Structure 1
Amino acid sequence: HENLSDNLIKITNELQAHGDDTVVVSWLPQYHDMGLIGSYLGVLFCGGSGYYMSPLTFLQNTTLWIEAISKFHGTHLQAPNFAFRLTARKFNASLYRNSSEDDNSKQSLDLSSVRHIINAAEPVTETSINSFFDTFSKYGLKEDVMFPTYGLAEHTVFVCSGGKQRLTVSKDTLETYGIVKELDGSIADNDENISRLIGCGYPSKQNVDVKIINTETLEQ
């Protein structure tokens, strides 16, 4: 209980989620730590409001998540990396399928209330981030609201966030030797030998230490 309370304090402080102006709109399963703690208990802890749908509903009607964010003026969102690219793809596909009347309803979307988006639970990719903002920035979504984040259940959930760093590295060197060889960031995106690594920010300033240890030599 003490670990949970401590982690919730870290989460609400890092996300600036305080009081009734915090609105979470989530489809995350509550058997997963990001769903249970990040999107559910976090709301109870900070005194905000939460609107929830099942993961199955999200997969069956992905654009419903975006519509709910607009309807309930969501401020804080959490999802794994794949969800952002999937949501953008499904939303764009729906624009082609639907009638002009439905298209007009899409144009009325307002995502300007969103203040903080956690992208976590799996490797974060530049492609997923870019596709999400390319699709939804025209509906008021601000480009500085997504924060790649790292957490693990062994640490309750939250470890670090605020990732804005992007490294351009050699894909071959990374995959073959496990070595990060940084390249010029201006290299064209269509170069097959490059990979973009997305940073997950820095550990919480509240008593969180992160150490990278060589599992063979135990050297830090």
Structure 2
Amino acid sequence: MGQAQISEKKYTFEEYLKMEEQGEIRHEYYDGEIFAMAGTTMNHNRIVGRIRSFLEGIFLPKGCDVFAENVKVEAIQNFYYPYPDVILTCAPEDISGTYIVRHPSILVEVLSKSSAGYDRDFKLRRYKGIASLQYYVLVSQNDCYVELYTRTDQEGIWIYQSFDSHDAVIPFDLLGFAMPVAKVYEGIVFVDEDGEK
């Protein structure tokens, strides 16, 4: 999801939270700067919905919860608060919370042309610092391509895998499930971001 800086003013974290609670437009927060979140394509929205629905089917019965697009995650306390496209958390304090997920297990970003570099580099480096995070998933909306980063037991070491076939299955062994790529792209007709098929 793209973003644009909306002000040269630096905001305290408390000012940012108050603005978010009172406003209708979502903003990411990074070191005092705020960035308005851009709209998305229909395929972006569909893919987010497919992933959220799949995860809810598995994790709601286990007492976990899944949020999409309008809930922020604490990537760096009082410093960086982005809005991932899908968040899975099983932490009771997140589930009973109001605005912020602090202990995600899975974060998903659906890529656009404008956000792909940001999601693969800037967000990846900061998301890796979230102690509870076990998986970071990047999903293309323009073709069949899913990237998976999996935390290992070794400090700072993550495993990277990619999946480019509808027949592939994405393993989430640390959480005891797998997600077929076909479920991610169910009913999706690929178009470029200008609407061309």
Per the normalisation by structure 2, the TM-score is 0.32
The structure that has the greater radius of gyration is: 1
The structure that is helix-richer by fraction is 1
Structure with greater strand percent: 2
